[in-house]
A and B are shown apart, each in its own frame.
Chain A
Amino acid sequence: MSQAQALWWASESFWRKTAIWVTAVSFVVLIFLTFDTVKQITAGSKRVPAYSVINQRIEYKFDEKRNFQAPVIGREEPLFGKKLTEQEAEALVSHGKMTTQSKNCIDCHTLLGNGSYYAPDLTKAWLDPVWGSKESREEAMVEFLMNPQLVAHNGIGRKMPNLKITEPEARAVVAFLKWMASIDTNGFPANFKSIDQADAPAAAASAAPAVQPAPAPAQQ
């Protein structure tokens, strides 16, 4: 075909080559970026802290330079009052994560904003004001997870079913949630108002200003 010469840009062979090159280049770029990203999201990195971070206070504060909220790792505040080694912490968080998978939490909730939309996002569940005070939070979470159907927390009657979560599983889930709250998610969720984690007045006087006081949970 003499036309084929004139219309090189409409020819099959031109587009075949283009398709191969474009795909190959995109894929190679993706591989390079993936190496870097995987490094940056490996537990123990700056963005995704080591599991032993559950030994410390985790806050979510506005970062002036980045112009959004970011997790702040605070002073020592071990989960359930027991300081864990890195290995123990990983085992606990892992048990919690596995529980979230075997109970399909993500088919009602979102985690890091991904999943289902029938129930609240769990990214910062550890910091939610509904848990009351930071002293009662851990036990309140364990109790809730084991028997979520007992108390109504919202006006539309939607409840979380009892998923037969055992106490060790519930504690592990709380560890997982605490750890997840420490991940740097580039400011998602925005405008989140944390539970009050300030120290008692005497100790707090010298400390940096704490997060905003939590609004009273709108019960029922």
Chain B
Amino acid sequence: MADTSRFPGSTMNGGQKLAMKYFTVAIALFGAQILFGMLAGLQYLYPDFLFGVLDFSINRMLHLNAMVVWLLFGFIGSVYWMLEDESGVPVVGLGLANLIFWIFTLAVVAVVLVFLLVQVGAGDMKSIWLITEGREYIEAPRWADIGIVVCVLAFFYNVVATFTKGRFTNIAGVLIVDLVALAGLYLAGMFYTPNISMDQHWWWWVIHLWVEATWEVLVGCLMAYGLIKTMGVRRQIVETWLYIEVALMFGSGILGLGHHYFWIGTPEYWFTIGGFFSALEPIPLVAMVVHAVFDAGHHKMKSVNHPALAWIIAQAFGNFFGAGVWGFMHTLPQINLYTHGTQWTASHGHLAFFGAYATMVIAFLYIALQKWRGNVWMGGNLEGAWKWKWAIFLLHVGMIGMVMAMLISGYEQSQIERAIEGSSWMGYFAAQGHPWFIQGMYWRSICGAVFAAGFVLLAWDLLTIGKKEARPALALQGA
């Protein structure tokens, strides 16, 4: 373990120690996500690979559930990290919080083992309770759903009780309202219906209203805190920006939900409402870029923590391009009719989840590690800085490469399968067998390998950064 008493300001509070546990699990699951993504990607190229042993569906399910859980663990960890700092009092109910961490982690391990070893069940309610719910992203069986709700409620209790006891800042207020919505929405995904239209209608409440409303605002809160911490930006400025972002984000994202209601049996008025409001969704993301870049420029990029600042800037741009630009490209019904459910969607999904959320969690990991390693210097000329620089570079080259490859395959698929062949069984394979599609899938795997290399470097850097650093962290005024 690190020597935690090296420089002033390096004493970790209880919430921060707990956060390190969440971060550790998060980074391990990030690795698992990449592993299963690579396997699923290879199955596009070599369909016999692991056929009947670890089928595409299982790899994909693990790829995505690992992603959702590591990001949630990263967010929860980040909130525990800032809780005492922000509220000015120790975390209320820390013992419970630690217990919940272990329950949560064990439940995740149990679910993963069932996914890997049991895989599928008979077509009855027992399977849905014990094995899989079979709904993309929220495949976790019902028992685990209930467990997740209990864990999140305990987490919520920690947050609310701590802020009400201590300082109740603007960030705290936004965060609490947002967590209520985030937890409440999960309930919309916890029921069974034979009606697939009804099923998907509510499923999108969870998925869309999470990633395009509540998660965005959560990340906005973390960003606000991150900017104060890494650059000493004035609180009033970040909190005003936070409200601007909330207004724009909820104002466009809530009714933007309609862009998923074009083709699932829902009425035609969603063409107009969904198309219009979702087309506005990039606006708050532009605001976030302006905010981060303006603040960084205003403080002349002078930051306590260079890697964290780099990832914060990456978040602003990644969110804008992945969610804003890539989302906008296919959000109008006239276009979405042909891109719906193709590699276009996968291209957007990757850039958005990575750009908006993975980046934010990684930025927080660096903020946390700086203190963990003894509040050491993480500015310019950092010892071994090549590692974090190459990691961020390779991860971005790999991700952008994958996203471009999928976009090209997606173009081909939307033309041939969707427009010309009319999405029949043979139309689907006419597109899948086309050289342009296959080339895209090759490049996806090659760039995936680059991404994986970047991850290895990132993990190595996280394990070592600042260990040999002999200088204390730069002190900020007004932080």
Interface residues of A (CB under 8 A from B): 10-12, 15-16, 18-19, 22-23, 26-27, 29-30, 33, 36-38, 40-43, 47-48, 51, 90, 93-108, 110-121, 123-125, 128-130, 149, 153-159, 161-166, 169, 172-173, 176, 180, 183-193, 215, 217-218
Residues B196 and A118 in contact, CB atoms below 8 Å apart: no
Contact B194 A51 (CB under 8 A): yes
Pairwise interchain contact A159-B47, C-beta atoms closer than 8 A: yes
With a cutoff of 8 Å between Cβ atoms, the chain A residues found around residue B98 in the complex are none
The distance from the CB of A120 to the nearest CB of chain B, in whole angstroms, is 4
Q: Mark B368-379, 1 if CB is under 8 A from A, else 0.
A: 000000000000
In the complex, the answer to whether A103 meets B134 with C-beta atoms within 8 Å is yes
Q: Are A104 and B128 interface neighbours, CB within 8 A?
A: no
Tell which of A94, A116, A123 touches B57, judged by Cβ atoms closer than 8 Å: A116
Q: Which of A97, A164, A165, A166 contacts B194 (CB 8 A)?
A: A97
Q: Is the CB of A101 within 8 A of B195?
A: no
* A164–B127 CA distance with the chains assembled, in angstroms: 14
In Å, the complex CA distance between A26 and B345 comes to 26
Given known A-B contacts A103-B123, A107-B57, A23 and B265 have beta carbons under 8 A apart: no
Which of B's residues lie within 8 Å of A, judged by CB? Answer: 40, 43-44, 47-48, 51-52, 55-58, 60-61, 119-125, 127-128, 131-136, 139, 170, 192-201, 203, 236, 239-240, 243-244, 246-247, 250-251, 254-255, 257, 260-271, 273, 337-338, 340-343, 345-346, 413, 418-426, 428-430, 432-433, 438
A113 and B263 alpha carbons, distance in the complex (Å): 8
Please name all residues of chain A whose beta carbon is closer than 8 Å to the beta carbon of B418 when the two chains form the complex: 189-191
Query: B123 to A99, Cβ gap below 8 A?
Result: yes
Q: Which of B40, B243, B425 is within 8 Å of A120, CB to CB? A: B425
The answer on a CB contact under 8 Å between A12 and B170 is yes
What is the bound-complex CA distance between A191 and B424, given in angstroms? 9
Contacts of A47 on B, CB cut-off 8 Å?
Answer: 197, 265-267
Establish whether residues B52 and A149, one from each chain, have CB atoms under 8 Å apart when the complex forms: yes
Contact indicator A104/B139 (Cβ below 8 Å): yes
Chain B residues near A18: list those with CB within 8 A.
Answer: 243-244, 247
B341 lies within 8 A of A114 (CB): yes
Assembly CA distance A163 to B52 (angstroms): 9
Known: A23-B251, A172-B123. A156 touches B433 (CB 8 A): yes
Question: Which residues from A are CB-within-8-Å of B267?
Answer: 36-37, 40, 47
In the complex with contacts A30-B254, A100-B134, A158-B432, A188-B263 CB distance below 8 A: yes
Task: Name which residue of chain B comes closest to A187, CB basis.
Answer: B337
Chain A residues closer than 8 Å to B260, beta-carbon distance? 114
Residues of chain B with a CB closer than 8 A to A169's CB: 122-123
C-alpha gap A157/B57 in the complex (Å): 17
B265 and A192 form a contact (CB under 8 A): no
Q: Give CA–CA (A159, B55) in the complex, Å.
A: 10
Instruction: Given the known inter-chain contacts A15-B247, A125-B425, A218-B426, please indicate yes or no for A118 contacting B257, CB distance below 8 A.
Output: no
Q: Report the bound CA distance from A118 to B198 in whole Å.
A: 24
- The complex places the Cα of A105 from the Cα of B60 at a distance, in Å, of 12
Complex: chain B residue closest to A23, CB-CB: B250
Set of chain B residues within 8 Å of A130, measured between Cβ atoms:
424-426
Question: In the docked arrangement, what's the CA distance between A156 and B438, Å?
Answer: 10
A26 surroundings in chain B (CB, below 8 A):
250-251, 254-255
Asked if B196 contacts A117 (CB within 8 A), the reply is no
Q: Is the CB of A186 within 8 A of B428?
A: no
Q: Is the CB of B192 within 8 A of A102?
A: no
A153 touches B422 (CB 8 A): no
Q: Contact: A192 with B422, CB < 8 Å?
A: yes
Interchain CB contact under 8 A, A112 and B265: yes
Question: When A and B form their complex, which 9 residue pairs have the shortest distance between CB atoms, in order from nearest?
Answer: A101-B134, A99-B123, A189-B423, A102-B127, A15-B243, A188-B263, A107-B57, A94-B194, A191-B422
Chain B min CB distance to A84 (Å): 14
Q: Which residues of B contact A48 (CB under 8 A)?
A: 195, 197-198, 265
Contacts of A218 in B (CB 8 A): 426, 430
* 8 Å CB contact of A118 from B56, B131, B200, B438: B56
Cβ A41 vs Cβ B197 within 8 A:
yes
B57 and A98 contacting across the interface, CB-CB below 8 Å: no
Q: How far is the CA of A103 from the CA of B423 in the complex (A)?
A: 23
B199 / chain A contacts, CB cutoff of 8 Å: 97
Which of B58, B170, B342, B426 neighbours the largest number of chain A CB atoms within 10 Å of its CB? B426
Task: Give the CA-CA distance A130 to B55 in the complex, in Å.
Answer: 24
A-B contact pairs, 24 of them (CB 8 A): A10-B240, A12-B239, A19-B247, A27-B250, A40-B266, A95-B123, A102-B132, A103-B121, A108-B60, A111-B196, A112-B263, A116-B136, A118-B43, A118-B44, A118-B57, A128-B424, A129-B424, A129-B426, A166-B122, A169-B123, A188-B337, A191-B423, A217-B425, A218-B430
Interface centre among B121, B132, B262, B424 (most CB of A within 10 A): B424
Residues of A within 8 A of B240 (CB): 10-12, 15
